[in-house]
Amino acid sequence: MRFAQISDLHAGESWMFDPKLLDLAIKMINGMKDIDGVLVTGDLTDWGLDHEYDMALEHLDRIKKEKYIIPGNHDARIAGYKMFDMNICTKRNRFFSECLDDLQLIGLDSSEPDIDDGHVGREQLEWLDDELSKCPEGHIPVIMLHHHLVPVPNTGRERNILTDAGDVLEVINSNKVPLVVTGHKHQPWLWELNNTFIYSGGTTSCKRTAVPNSMSIIDISRKGIEIERMDIPSKKRTKVLDRKWKK
């Protein structure tokens, strides 16, 4: 399957949000006939306010592909997690598990009310382990969450990494998950850890970034994984990963 990933929209009235960049990304996605779905890896809003969710949905509703959306720390500010439930969770919960052809897509909620630190928690972690253990034979498990699992370079002093990152990584490692997709740091980066690729997508429409705004194209199949970053608005494409499965 082929997914587009957008992240860290930060819709709001701040100077940081550039709706023109988001509109351009959506036009690019809608122009791709071979996209099966769109992964939205959190921080749809800047302050988790109801009218900011309205702003974000005004744009996201124009995406013609199926959307898989999980919250970020900005979406849970004040009582934003309640707004996320009301505005976004009309089709699926804040964390979910779905079989998509040969793929098992699992979304996690790493947000905490009104703090920036990420946390998955024991209950959700037990649920994740159970979902991975039930993954049908031959299916490829892919996890998406907002917070980064390992530090990302060129993003300043390290902060806000998952408080239980070690426990999450242990479950990922023991279940041989090949790909984890995150956002949060606004800096595109790829790590490989114990045969798991951990890809941090860049921000699509927030100006608080030292690199070009971007979206990503992620191909996952029985042959392997390919990831390509597409800068906005230049449309410059950069191959991030092209890895075939080992026989």
Number of domains in the chain: 1
pLDDT digits over 54-105, tens only? 999 999 999 999 999 999 999 999 888 899 998 888 777 889 999 998 999 9
pLDDT computed for residue 76 by the predictor = 95
Domain with residue 110: its CATH number is 3.60.21.10
pLDDT digits over 187-225, tens only? 999 999 999 999 999 999 999 999 999 999 999 998 999
* Percent of the chain residues topping a pLDDT of 70: 100
CA-nearest of 92, 97, 71 to 82 is 71
DSSP state of 11: B
* 87 alpha carbon, distance to own chain's centre: 18
Q: Print the domain residue range for 199.
A: 2-244
Please give the average per-residue pLDDT across 171-187, as a whole number: 96
Contact 113, 120 (CB under 8 A): no
Whole-number Å distance between alpha carbons of 67 and 75: 17
